[in-house]
Amino acid sequence: VTVPTDDRGLTLGDGLFETLLVERGRLQFWDAHLARLLAGCVTLGIPDPSAANLLTAAGDALERAGLQDSRAVVRLTWTAGSGGRGLDRPRAPAPRLFAAAFEAPVASSRGVSLATVAVRRNEGSAASRLKTLSYLDNVLARAEAARAGADEALMLNNRGELACAAAANLFWIEDRRLFTPVLECGVLDGIVRGAVIRAAAGLGVECLEVRAQRQGLGAVPMFITNSLIGLRQVDRLDGEALPADPLADRLAEAIAAA
């Protein structure tokens, strides 16, 4: 599968994507992924795809990869389409859809290590709340974390506030309450992030969406979430060991059952 080199997704990062976990052909959290993609189209000001076309593209990609009966990952990409030179979109953008399927990463309950990185989230752009094709800062953050010997990056915004990982959301536990950075901090509006917030309410656990400075964060239980890994404990932050908390396991069970 190819796209023309004048596609604005390629030339300018002008577009959106979704990465979904698939269990034997069933797209997990499909409604939430679809809703986020459609909301992103409004923010970007591009026409939106139909749910039917997205589902067909996902199914075709799974079949091409021979993964229709497996635990798999589908990535759906929706670009702003072909667009000549320069920043201005054509009067009638014709977005382009493509999909790819991959084997799902091996499920693991091993904890992950995080390293605070220098590259910051752009809290001043609506794009920081979306999965857009302009994802270079995330690539650079992950690479910086890897150079520091960590699995994932802890990204702050330009105010020094906690935001998220390069490809995951961030939670921590203090005084039996759950905390996560509020979206305004430049946080991707993660599907599992939303599921965890709802699951916490279901368990009677208070979850606060907050603006919090990195230096205010002690060695407390912490976990990260995304659509592929679900919920994973952080066992090490900037070289310091973090304690575990059974609440993380209860939340993991609750979202798996959702």
The residues binding a second copy (CB under 8 A) are 1-14, 17, 19, 44-45, 73, 75, 77, 79, 84-89, 98, 100, 102, 118-127, 132-140, 142-143, 146, 156-159, 166-167
Chain centroid to CA 187: 9
Nearest approach, Cβ of residue 89 and a second copy (Å): 7
> Which CB atom, from 186 or from 221, has the smaller least distance to a second copy?
186
Sign, CA dihedral 5-7-11-17, equals: negative
- Residue closer to a second copy by CB (options 73, 199) is 73
Place of tokens 């690539």: 139
CB of 71 to a second copy, least distance (A): 14
Q: Give the position of tokens 């304690």.
A: 243
Is the CB of 17 or the CB of 221 nearer to a second copy? Answer: 17
Q: CB-wise, 10 or 55, nearer to a second copy? A: 10
Question: Between residues 52 and 87, which has the closer beta carbon with respect to a second copy?
Answer: 87
Tell me which residue of 19, 9, 75 sits closest to 46, measured CA to CA. Answer: 9
Cα 137 → chain centroid: 13
Give the span between the Cα atoms of 35 and 229, in whole angstroms: 21
**Tokens, residue 91:** 């009067």
Minimum separation from the CB atom of position 77 to a second copy (A) = 7
Closest approach, Cβ 201 to a second copy, in A, equals 31
Residue 77 vs 207, nearer CB to a second copy: 77
The answer to whether 191 and 134 have CB atoms below 8 angstroms apart is: no
Burial (CB < 10 A; 0-12, 13-18, 19+), residue 148, is middle
Q: In the bound complex, what is the minimum distance in angstroms from residue 205's beta carbon to a second copy?
A: 31
- Cβ 25 to a second copy shortest distance, Å: 19
**Alpha-carbon distances, residue 1 vs 66, 74, 85 (angstroms):** 16, 15, 23
Q: Is the distance from CB of 188 to CB of 141 less than 8 angstroms?
A: no
